[in-house]
Amino acid sequence: MKQLVLTLLLTAIPMQPQQRTQARSMVLSRNGIVATSQTLASQAGAMILARGGSAIDAAIAANAVLTVVEPMSCGVGGDLFAIYYDAKTGKISGLNSSGPAPAAMTIAKLKSLGNYSMPQDGIHSVTVPGCVDGWRKLHQRYGRLPWREIFQPARYYAREGFPLTEIIQDHWRNSVSKLNFSEYTRKTFLRDGRVPDVGDIIKNADLAKTLDTLAEQGPDAFYKGPLAQSILATSKKLGGLLTAADLAEYSAEWVDTIQTTYRGWTVHELPPNSQGVAALEMLNILETLPVNEYSHDSALAWHYKIEAQKLAYRDLQKYLGDPRHATIPLAGLLSKSYAAERAKLLDSEKANCDFNPGQPLPGAGDTIYLAAIDREGNIASLIQSVYLSFGSGVGVEGHGFHLHNRAGLFEFEEGHPNALAPKKRPFHTIIPALMEKGSVRLGFGIMGGLNQAQAHAQFVSNIVDHGMNIQLALEAPRFTKLNFGGCDVMIENRVPVTTREALTAKGHRLEVQGDFSGWMGGGQVVMRDYESKINSAASSPRKDGAAIPEPDPYFRPR
């Protein structure tokens, strides 16, 4: 019995080879593994593990490489969230490293500048970047290697170059107009006004110098030193509102995770201002329904999941904000009894196009996600983003990176929990996650703006309800709905035609996407059974990346 949970996760439903439905196999190792959206970043993290680094060292190193090789999705000008599992103590820690609006940014101020809604790009879409202080806090508490050493791979690729990969090049190509905002971003990220081709060698000497400064001078260089001065100079040139105090006073926040149970598993997310609560509410609703009695291809299982998403997301839209500035009915939203009441609104035969938010009782883009596990079983579940592709489009001149546009997620409506206010953090879409049962722990995450919470819930259901292993659960066809309300829903082409026809008959307006659609978000998973001491990992084929194991001792650098 003690191996039952691991067996369920390591083996899919028995199949003949010709009936295999997953595109990749899991990666298994007795050593650590790093899974990211780009292979060079995964390899860098794996080699940091081989040099004696912890899961956090590997995660930061891999994230730093991703700022070079996947610049439209992440960077030092963005925010970060993380969940860490300490194998020695069993403690789970959360870090919210999202930055607030400048002290001078108000709805009235933006209106006086001619804005009638929240800007989605440009300098007034910029909040304080939290990524670098997030790296600092994680490394101070859980790092082993010197700060300087974990930036060596990123510095190398920025200076020496790397070949541009397929999916990243496609995302890059969709951002040409934003990159043409300024001569600096055009010169840094385009070649004669066009996106580099797949396989072209990309170098970013300015970003290499930025990484040199961070590595040698430490995080204060970003918030109080030369990098801060350059950020402020760029902001001032464009009429921005950032001040030296906005940067110098910033500090990432350690937080406790929020959690729910789902058919015997415990699922952890981070609390608001991120959307993790929607994943947990969606799971609570699904737990009241017989989803586990149906196959993954069942139209009724798909119907229940889509309807549960709508219910959870209407609550997300109404209630989520920064808990330091607004009262969030978190306990009510996570209540099993509240989920049961919400589930009563579901009709098994008909899609509802306009659910209203519930009344919970008050209680006491573009993005990268990566997961790392070391040989001791410490797990880093980390997500980092500049929000929309290339963020605000504002490049910090001379430094090779751009600032995010997270202020674009504020509401422009006074009184809303997520209304713009000075020093307030906006609603955040990016969420890392962790789930556990018995001797098994999984760190996982799936990218893609509002896709993320619903993708988390579908991933958990794939494992718990449908008996999939972690690779199949990650890459199995999914749906996504990137708005609030309505019966439209995007769904991958791999969902059987008969299932799609049955969903259409229930009133769902399906927008059929490709077999492995980027709209569904790529993701990564690491897992460990603490009895067998075997690590495993999975990486989504919707991204360019892979899960790469730490080399065995024979192959490690001498």
Could you tell me if 214 and 281 lie in one domain? no
Could you tell me if 355 and 382 lie in one domain? no
Q: Are 181 and 393 a contacting pair, CB within 8 Å?
A: yes
Answer yes or no: is 17 within a domain: no
The torsion angles phi and psi of 80, rounded to 5 degrees, stand at -150, 145
367 is a catalytic site residue: yes
Q: Order the strands of the 488-492 sheet from edge to edge.
A: 479-480, 488-492, 509-513
* Domain final residue, candidates 380, 409, 438: 409
CATH number for the domain that contains residue 494: 3.60.20.40
Size (the chain), residues: 558
Answer yes or no: is 485 within a domain: yes
Answer yes or no: is 133 within a domain: yes
Could you tell me if 478 and 341 lie in one domain? yes
Could you tell me if 244 and 272 lie in one domain? no
Q: Are 302 and 499 a contacting pair, CB within 8 Å?
A: yes
Which pair of structure tokens corresponds to residue 203? 């170098």
> How many domains in the chain?
2
- Between the alpha carbon of residue 75 and those of residues 68, 145, 233, 550, the distances in Å are 8, 22, 19, 25
Task: Give the predicted TM-score (pTM) of the model.
Answer: 0.93
- Between the alpha carbon of residue 225 and those of residues 399, 456, 495, the distances in Å are 14, 39, 52
C-alpha 39/C-alpha 66 separation (Å) is 10
Answer yes or no: is 75 within a domain: yes
User: SS3 for 36?
Assistant: strand
Could you tell me if 94 and 186 lie in one domain? yes
Could you tell me if 113 and 245 lie in one domain? yes
Could you tell me if 137 and 219 lie in one domain? yes
Residue 522 belongs to what domain range? 255-366+429-549
C-alpha 50/C-alpha 52 separation (Å) is 5
Catalytic residue among 367, 429, 480, 499: 367
Could you tell me if 330 and 213 lie in one domain? no
The torsion angles phi and psi of 523, rounded to 5 degrees, stand at -155, 175
Question: Which region, left, alpha or beta, applies to residue 485 given φ > 0 means left and ψ of -120 to 50 means alpha?
Answer: left
- Between the alpha carbon of residue 56 and those of residues 37, 51, 59, 142, 508, the distances in Å are 17, 13, 5, 6, 43
Could you tell me if 445 and 355 lie in one domain? yes
The pLDDT profile of the chain, 558 residues, written as one tens digit per residue, is 445 555 545 544 444 445 677 888 999 999 999 999 999 999 999 999 999 999 999 999 999 999 999 999 999 999 999 999 999 999 999 999 999 999 999 999 999 999 999 999 999 999 999 999 999 999 999 999 999 999 999 999 999 999 999 999 999 988 898 998 889 999 999 998 889 999 999 999 999 999 999 999 999 999 999 999 999 999 999 999 999 999 999 999 999 999 999 999 999 999 999 999 999 999 999 999 999 999 999 999 999 999 999 999 999 988 888 989 988 899 999 999 999 999 999 999 999 998 887 766 543 367 899 999 999 999 999 999 999 999 999 999 999 999 999 999 999 999 999 999 999 999 999 999 999 999 999 999 999 889 999 999 999 999 999 999 999 999 999 999 988 889 999 999 999 999 999 999 999 999 999 999 999 999 999 999 999 999 999 999 999 999 999 998 877 666
Could you tell me if 134 and 283 lie in one domain? no
Question: Which region, left, alpha or beta, applies to residue 278 given φ > 0 means left and ψ of -120 to 50 means alpha?
Answer: alpha
Could you tell me if 287 and 331 lie in one domain? yes
